[in-house]
């Protein structure tokens, strides 16, 4: 068998197909290029114990919020803590989902079938025939960019793919909105008013985050240990 015939066989095409080379070149030109940082992020995400990491972060914040901070610095102190907690929760939600999908052909299939944006993603022939580990990085990189900072996508994805139904998430959406003001205007809204943050609101946020993580950990624990 010639090299050309071998190439055709590898991509499931016939040597007599006149469009094969054009399709192959077109596919390569549209191919997603994986950077070294994509591999590094994937390895880091795979090696991370997501639940325990979040618990440790929340426990640290619970200790920090009790520090005796001068009154004139207290608001800024709480602004930073609020932003940190929300970012930790976002990282947990995205990290767990990506880990589960990348380690299950069933979950990958469910994602493609249920998510309209992901189902539109056109994988090239080369990507389809990549080694499994490389394909996992491709999927992980795509998901990271897609959902890491968009909680509206998190809920339907968790339900459709992992069969996890969230309880009330209004607290999280509110916390994300406040975090936006914390990050972009140092805790002030568009009208120049301070957002509502207190030691008590941080405590409530920690409780909600802990409960959320416990529920998700229980769900993923029934399908895969990690």
Residue 114, number of CB atoms within 10 A of its CB: 14
* 191 in the same domain as 155: yes
Mean pLDDT in residue range 83-98: 91
- Is position 191 within any domain? yes
In a domain, 66, yes or no: yes
Residue 131 has what pLDDT? 54
Same domain, 19 and 119: no
Q: Looking at the structure, do residues 195 and 105 belong to the same domain, yes or no?
A: yes
Give ∠ CA 153-151-79 in degrees, rounded to 5.
Answer: 170
pLDDT band at 108 (very low <50, low <70, confident <90, very high): confident
Average pLDDT score over residue span 201-223: 91
Lowest mean pLDDT among 68-72, 78-82, 91-95, 119-123: 119-123
Of the pLDDT bands very low, low, confident and very high (cuts 50, 70, 90), residue 123 is low
User: Once rounded to an integer, what is the mean pLDDT over residues 114-122?
Assistant: 68
The whole-number pLDDT of residue 95 equals: 87
Residues 125, 174 within the same domain: yes
Residue 30 banded pLDDT, cuts 50, 70, 90: very low
- State how far the Cα of 187 lies from the Cα of 75, in Å rounded to an integer: 8
Same domain, 147 and 91: yes
Residue 178 shares a structural domain with residue 158: yes
Residue 208 in contact with residue 171, Cβ under 8 Å?
yes
Which of the residue ranges 26-30, 46-50, 198-202 would you say has the lowest mean pLDDT?
Answer: 26-30
Q: What are phi and psi of 33, to 5 degrees?
A: -90, 120
Which whole number is the average pLDDT over 175-186? 93
Same domain, 105 and 176: yes
37-46, 112-121, 203-212: least confident range: 37-46
Same domain, 197 and 115: yes
90, 151 Cβ separation under 8 angstroms: yes
Q: Exposed/middle/buried for 218, CB within 10 Å: 0-12, 13-18, 19+?
A: exposed
Q: How many domains does the chain have?
A: 2
Residue 152 lies in a domain: yes
For residue 44, is pLDDT > 80? no
Tell me: do 166 and 99 sit in the same domain: yes
Cα–Cα distance, 127 to 32 (Å, whole number):
8
> Is the pLDDT at 214 greater than 70, yes or no?
yes
Mean pLDDT for 57-75 is 93
In a domain, 226, yes or no: no
DSSP category for residue 106: H
**DSSP letters of 117-162?**
HHHT----HHHHTS-HHHHHHHHHHHHHHHHTT-HHHHHHHHHHHS
pTM: 0.73
Domain that holds residue 123: 35-221
Range 51-74 burial, b when 16+ CB lie within 10 A, else e: beebbebbeebbeebeeeeeeeee
Chain centroid offset of residue 49 CA: 14
Which is more confidently placed, 174 or 49? Answer: 174
pLDDT of residue 132: 59
Alpha helices in 48-131 (DSSP H): 50-64, 71-102, 105-114, 116-119, 125-128
Position 135 scores a pLDDT of 64
> Do 112 and 22 share a domain, yes or no?
no
Q: Rounded CA gap, 207 and 68, in Å?
A: 21
The answer on 111 and 23 residing in a single domain is no
Q: What is the pLDDT of residues 5-20, one digit of tens each?
A: 665 565 566 777 766 5
Together in a domain, 21 and 41: no
CA distances from 33 to 52, 124, 132, 138, 215 (A): 32, 11, 16, 9, 36
Q: Is residue 188, in this structure, part of any structural domain at all?
A: yes
Q: Is 54 a residue whose pLDDT tops 90?
A: yes
Whether 172 is in a domain gets the answer yes
């Amino acid at each position: 068998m010639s090299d050309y015939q071998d190439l055709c066989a590898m991509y499931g095409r016939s040597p007599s197909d006149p469009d094969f080379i054009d399709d192959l070149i077109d596919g390569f030109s549209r191919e997603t290029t994986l950077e070294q940082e994509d591999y590094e992020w994937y390895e880091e995400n795979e090696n991370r114990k997501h639940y325990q990491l979040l618990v440790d972060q929340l426990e640290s914040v619970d200790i920090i919020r009790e520090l005796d901070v001068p009154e004139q610095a207290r608001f800024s102190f709480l602004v930073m803590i609020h932003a940190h907690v929300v970012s930790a929760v976002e990282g947990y939600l995205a990290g767990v989902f990506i880990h589960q999908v990348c380690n299950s052909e069933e979950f990958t299939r469910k994602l493609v079938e249920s998510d309209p944006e992901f189902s539109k993603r056109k994988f090239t022939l080369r990507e389809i025939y990549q080694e499994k580990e490389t394909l996992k990085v491709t999927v992980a990189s795509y998901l990271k960019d897609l959902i890491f900072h968009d909680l509206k996508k998190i809920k339907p994805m968790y339900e459709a793919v992992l069969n996890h139904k969230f309880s009330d998430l209004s607290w999280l959406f509110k916390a994300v909105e406040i975090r936006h003001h914390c990050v972009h205007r140092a805790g002030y809204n568009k009208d120049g008013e301070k957002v509502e943050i207190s030691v008590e609101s941080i405590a409530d946020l920690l409780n909600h985050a802990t409960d959320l993580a416990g529920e998700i950990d229980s769900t993923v624990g029934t399908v895969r240990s990690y």
